[in-house]
Structure 1
C-alpha cells in the first residue's frame, strides 16, 4: 500500500510546479474554511470588483484614465444599488410581511381542503392519511416559523455589521479597481517562481469565472424581471416578492426552480383556488423555466465548461454545505476549478511520461 501511494505521489507531485500549486490550493482552502466569516467583506468586494472590471476596461479603451473610469463605474453602480434599496426594498419588505401574516390563514385553508378530500375521493385517500399529512405539515410550518424568527433576531444583531459592510465594501471595490495593476503585481511577488501550473489553471479559469458571474447576474435580472411582469399581468399577489425568488432560484441548478414552485403554487392556489387562473399561473411559470433552461442559459453560458449534471449537483451540495450562499453561487466555477486542477496535473504527468519516453 505504501509503495502504491509513493508511486502515485512521484507521478503527480515530483515537479516543483505541482507542489507549489498543491500548497497554494491547500492554503486558500484552509483560509476560507477557518477565516471565511471574517473575510466575507473582502470576498464580496473581490466578486463585485471582478464583475465591474469589464466596464472599466472598456471605458479605458475610449481614452479615459483608470481612476476616471473607475469613478464613473462606481458612481453608476452605487446609484443602481441605492435605487434598488430605496425603491424595491420597501416593496419587498411590505409583501414579505403581508405574506408572513397571511401564512396561518393559507395553512388553515389548505388544511380544510385536505380534510375534504376523503369525502370527495374516498377510494383514493382515507381520513387517517389526511390527518397524518396535516400533522406533518403543521409541524414543518412551526419549525419553519422558528427558523424565520431566529434568523430575524440574528439579523437584528448583525445590523451594525451590515452598516459597516455598506461602507467598507464600496471602498474596497473602488481601490481594487483603481489599483488593479499594483495589487496584481504584489500578489505575483508572493507566489513562488515555480508557478507554471498556477498560471495554466488561472488562464483556464479566468475567462470562465468572468463569463459565469456576468452571465449569472444577467440571468437573475432577466428571469426575475420576466417573472415579475408575468405575475403582475396575471394579477398574482406578491408579484415582486415571487419575481425576486424566481430570479434568485437560478443560483441553484435544477433544484432552485423546483423549490420556488412551492411558494408560487401556494400563493396562486390561495388566491384563485383550483380555477383557470391557477393553472394559467403554473403554465406561464413552467414556460419561463423552460425558456430559461433551453434558451437563456445556452446563450449566456456558451463559453462555460461543459459539466455533467451529476457533478453540478454534487458541487452544489458540497460547496453549499461548506460556505452557504456563496458556496452555492460559485458551485459551478469551483467544480470547473477542480476539473482544471485535474487537467493540469494530468497534463504534467503526460509531459513527464513523454520526456522519459524520448
Structure 2
C-alpha cells in the first residue's frame, strides 16, 4: 500500500513536468522576493565593488588584449612569461608617454575648438529646424512638429540645468571621483601584471574548492565563459579602432572640420553595439549642416561606406558568429540593461548576457542528463555528448591546456 501511494505521488507530483516547472518558477520568485527584502546585506559588497571594480575591469580588458601574445610566446617559443609581460609594459608605457606628449595636446586643441564653435553649430541647426517648421509643405503636421521641437528643447534645458545644479552641489563628490581616478590609474597596472603572470592558474585553483567529480565540468564552464568574454572584448575593441580610423580618414578626405575628434568619438561610441555609429553621426550632421548641404551629402556617403565595410567585412571577420546572439536579442538586452544599469549596462550588457547564456545552457544540459523526464537512452546520449565537448576542449582556458606547465 505504501509503495502504491509512493508510486502515485511520484507519478503525479514528483515526475510531473508541469508541477516541476511551476515549483521552479515559484522558488525563483521566492528567492527574488527574499533578496529584495534583505538587499541591505549586499550594500557592503556594492561598496567594495565600487572601490575595486574600475581597476579590475580595466585590468581585465587589457588582460584579454595582451594575454594571447604572452601565451603564444610561452608555449610555442618557450619565452618566460615575465619577460614578455615586461616588454609589453615597456611598450605600453612608451605609447602612454607619446600620447601625453604628442597626440593628446593635438586632440585637445581640436576638442576645444569644437566646443567653442558648438553653440554656433547648434544655433544654425535650430535655424534650419525653424525653416522646416514654417515651410508650407509641412503645414499639415506643423503643429505637431512645433510641439515636438518645444518638448525636445525643454527636455535638453531641464537635463542641462539638472547637471549644472548637481555639479554645483557635489564638489566633494568631484574630489572623490578625481582621487578614485588616480587610484585606479596607479593600481590597475599591478593587477594587470599579476593577471598576466598567474591568471591562467586561477580556474584550476578555484576548482580545488569543488568536489573532484565536478572539477572538470567547472573548469570547462569557466573556459567557455572566458572564451565568450575574450571574443567579445577583443572583437569590440578591434572593430571600434577600425571604425575610428575609417571615420577619421573619411572626414579628413571630405574636409569636415573637427573630423579627427568626431571620428575618435565614433570609435568610442561603437563600443555600444548597433547604436554607437548612429549616435556618432549626430555631431557630424550638425557640423555638416552648418557648412553646406553638399557637405551633409558627403558625410552621409562616408557613413554608408563605413557601415558597409563594418557590416560586410570587418565585423564578420573579427567577431564572426562566436557569441551566437541574434541581433533582436542584442537590442532587447541593450534596452533592458541600459534602462536598469545606465551606460554601464549598455557597455557590459552583451558580455553579461553571454556569460548568463553559458551558465543556463550548462545547467539545462545537466538537468537533462539527470531528469526522469527523459528516457535512460536519451540521458546517456546527453551525457556522452557533454563529455565529448569537454574532451574536445581539453580543459582549455584561453590557450592553457596543462595547469602544471607554468613557466613563469
Query: TM range, normalised to the smaller chain?
Result: 0.7 to 0.9
Q: CA deviation at 1:10?
A: 8.8
Whether the 8 Å CA contact 1:56–1:69 is kept in 2: the answer is: yes
SS of 1:123's equivalent? helix
Which residue of structure 2 aligns with residue 188 of structure 1?
207
CA contact (8 A) 1:228 1:239 kept: yes
Deviation of 1:8 (Å): 3.9
Aligned to 1:44: 58
What is the alpha-carbon distance in structure 1 between the residues aligned to residue 46 and residue 239 of structure 2?
29
Aligned pairs (5 A) from 1:223-302 = 223-270=243-290, 272-274=291-293, 276-302=294-320
1:135 aligns with 2:150: yes
Q: CA deviation at 1:191?
A: 4.7
Q: Which residues of structure 2 form unaligned runs of 5+?
A: 1-12, 26-41, 378-408
List aligned pairs for 1:265-344, cutoff 5 A.
Answer: 265-270=285-290, 272-274=291-293, 276-344=294-362
Tell me, in whole angstroms, the C-alpha distance in 2 between the residues paired with 1:86 and 1:155: 26
Work out which of the two has the higher radius of gyration on C-alpha atoms and give 1 or 2: 2
Counterparts of residues 29-108 of structure 1 (less than 5 Å): 35-40=48-53, 41-60=55-74, 61-108=76-123
Give 1:169 shift. 0.6
- 8 A Cα contact 2:239 2:315, kept in partner: yes
Cross-structure match for 2:131: 116
Contact 2:225 2:358 in 1 (8 A): yes
Deviation, structure 1 residue 33: 5.5
Report the Cα distance in structure 2 between the residues aligned to 1:294 and 1:245, rounded to whole angstroms. Answer: 22
Which residue pairs with 1:171 in the alignment? 190
Closer, same or farther: CA 33–75 of 1 in aligned 2, 3 Å: same
Moved more, 219-228 or 321-330: 321-330
Distance in 1 (CA, whole Å) between partners of 2:227 and 2:342 is 24
- 1:15 equivalent in structure 2: none
| Aligned counterpart, 1:25 | none
The normalised TM-score by structure 1 is 0.81
Displacement, 1:181? 4.9
User: What is the CA–CA distance in structure 1 between the aligned matches of 2:167 and 2:239, rounded to whole Å?
Assistant: 28
Tell me, yes or no, if the aligned pair for 2:125 and 2:289 is still in contact at 8 Å.
no
- Indicate the residue corresponding to 2:28 in structure 1: none
Aligned residue number for residue 211 of structure 1: 231
Q: Find the aligned partners of 1:164 and 1:190 in 2 and give their Cα distance.
A: 32
**1:201–1:341 contact (8 Å) kept in structure 2:** yes
Contact 2:240 2:267 in 1 (8 A): yes
CA distance in 2 between counterparts of 1:308 and 1:235 reads 38
Cα 1:308–1:182 change in 2 (3 A) is closer
Tell me the distance in 2 between the aligned counterparts of 1:185 and 1:357. 32
Equivalent residue pairs, number: 337
Q: Does the 8 A contact of 1:236 with 1:268 survive in 2?
A: yes
- Once the two structures are TM-superposed, the CA of residue 170 in structure 1 deviates from its matched residue by 0.9
